[in-house]
């Protein structure tokens, strides 16, 4: 066993509800605390002095200076396996060009598809690991990563193999998701329904055979796949044994209802969700995932996070890091900004990037500092945990621990 501390504050996030609004006075804040770690899990959280007295022979990792400790963060929606760069898209969008105009000049998702297809596995692995390491430096130790820039059997499988290989080079937990249903590729000869059937027949069986992903995603939108064909696809993916998640209500409303109806683990985006659908979503077990990075990247309104929480929903917050609409990648900055616009308490934000986000990935063994939980946590050199969000991402993590061990 090992005792790590003392910390000026430990914010455990334990004993908080999975759903609904939270006030900051519900937070357990332990002063001068310590973490007792055993075999990569938390054995006990208590005052550092008490733990020293109870376990006089324990190995001690002394924390120098004034630091606070939080559960490590969970980014439950990213697209960080990709080739190329779409800085020109961002510049054109800010200059007033429409999505269609950008696509017609060779930009948009299809640009990322072409770059990703042309990249070999070694190139994709290198850049994906660089992004993973950046996220770890922010205190994020669990990262969902989608495919979706291959859009054919060869390249979708290539992306998922890269993500699987990346797991062997990092101590962070990577959660791969097959997003072959990102949109119908330009070079597919057939209808969108036929492309979805192609995914079911030709891609998902190989994903399952090689154990490349246990989750399937689809983008339901006028520019991608229509509601009814998407619903049929999701139900068939479930029959194949996949957990499902949905890109829902980004520009038009209605698809979050489909996510609930098919039992999706999460409905992500929700910028266009209407009040009636908020109530429907909030009464379900489907996690509502806000992606403020996409709102910032596109200049669109934010997910109605306040309304979702007030209605009793489960709110997670993720970065959506991708080369087009959400290139920032800084979950802490995005969550802090979302809090300002949606009037979220610090407790609600921290829950949204820890245990509630972990629930969206079916990983309920992490996200709080409590006995038996995975010993993933992050420290900051400050005397007040509120400074993490107050500085909107500019206060950098002092140390990041995975399974109780400090990362390099």
Percent of the chain beyond pLDDT 90? 94
Query: What is the tens place of the pLDDT at every residue in 105-132?
Result: 778 888 999 999 999 999 999 999 999 9
Q: Where in the chain is the domain with CATH 2.30.40.10?
A: 2-71+368-406
Instruction: Report helix, strand or coil for 60.
Output: strand
Q: Where in the chain is the domain with CATH 3.20.20.140?
A: 74-360
pLDDT band for 98, please (50, 70, 90 cuts): confident
Query: What is the tens place of the pLDDT at every residue in 308-356?
Result: 999 999 999 999 999 999 999 999 999 999 999 999 999 999 999 999 9
pLDDT band for 86, please (50, 70, 90 cuts): confident
pLDDT exceeds 80 at position 264: yes
pLDDT band for 284, please (50, 70, 90 cuts): very high
Mean local confidence (pLDDT), 391-408: 96
Instruction: For residue 12, give every residue at least 6 positions away whose Cβ sits within 8 Å of its Cβ, in sequence order, or none.
Output: 28, 30, 45, 71, 368, 369, 370
pLDDT band for 285, please (50, 70, 90 cuts): very high
pTM: 0.97
Topology (CATH level 3) of domain 74-360: TIM Barrel (3.20.20)
Euclidean distance between CA atoms 270 and 291, whole angstroms: 8
Euclidean distance between CA atoms 264 and 285, whole angstroms: 8
Topology (CATH level 3) of domain 2-71+368-406: Urease, subunit C; domain 1 (2.30.40)
Q: Which residue has the tokens 């409590």?
A: 370
Is the bond preceding 81 in cis, omega lying within 30 degrees of 0? no
User: If we measure between CA atoms, which residue out of 299, 378, 392, 382 comes closest to residue 349?
Assistant: 392
Determine the pLDDT at residue 392. Answer: 97
């Amino acid at each position: 066993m090992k005792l790590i501390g003392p910390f000026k504050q430990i914010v455990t996030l334990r004993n908080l509800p999975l759903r609904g609004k939270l006030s900051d006075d519900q937070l357990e804040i332990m002063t001068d605390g310590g973490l007792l770690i055993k075999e990569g899990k938390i054995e006990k959280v208590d005052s550092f002095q008490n733990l020293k007295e109870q376990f006089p022979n324990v190995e001690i990792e002394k924390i120098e200076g004034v630091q606070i400790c939080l559960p490590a963060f969970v980014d439950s929606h990213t697209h960080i396996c990709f080739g190329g760069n779409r800085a020109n898209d961002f510049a054109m969008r800010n200059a007033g060009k429409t999505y269609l105009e950008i696509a017609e000049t060779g930009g948009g998702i299809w640009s990322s598809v072409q770059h990703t297809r042309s990249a070999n596995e070694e190139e994709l692995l290198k850049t994906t690991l660089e992004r993973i390491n950046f996220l770890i430096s922010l205190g994020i130790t669990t990262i969902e990563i989608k495919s979706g820039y291959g859009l054919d059997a060869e390249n979708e499988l290539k992306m998922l193999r890269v993500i699987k290989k990346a797991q062997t080079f990092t101590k962070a937990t990577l959660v791969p998701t097959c997003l072959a249903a990102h949109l119908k590729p330009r070079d597919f000869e057939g209808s969108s329904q036929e492309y979805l059937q192609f995914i079911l027949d030709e891609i998902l069986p190989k994903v399952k055979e090689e154990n490349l992903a246990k989750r399937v995603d689809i983008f339901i939108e006028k520019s991608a796949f229509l509601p009814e064909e998407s619903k049929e696809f999701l139900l068939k993916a479930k029959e194949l044994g996949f957990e499902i998640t949905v890109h829902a209500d980004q520009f038009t409303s209605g698809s979050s209802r489909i996510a609930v109806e098919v039992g999706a683990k999460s409905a992500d985006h929700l910028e266009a969700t209407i009040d009636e659908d908020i109530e429907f979503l909030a009464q379900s077990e489907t996690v509502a995932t806000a992606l403020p990075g996409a709102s910032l990247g596109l200049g669109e309104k934010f997910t109605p996070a306040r309304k979702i929480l007030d209605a009793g929903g489960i709110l997670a917050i993720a970065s959506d890091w991708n080369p087009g609409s959400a290139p920032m990648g800084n979950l802490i900055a995005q969550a802090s900004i979302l809090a300002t616009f949606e009037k979220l308490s610090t407790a609600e934000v921290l829950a949204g990037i820890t245990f509630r986000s972990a629930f969206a990935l079916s990983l309920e063994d992490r996200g709080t500092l409590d006995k038996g939980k995975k010993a993933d946590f992050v420290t900051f050199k400050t005397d007040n945990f509120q400074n993490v969000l107050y500085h909107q991402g500019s206060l950098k993590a002092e140390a990041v621990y995975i399974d109780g061990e400090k990362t390099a």
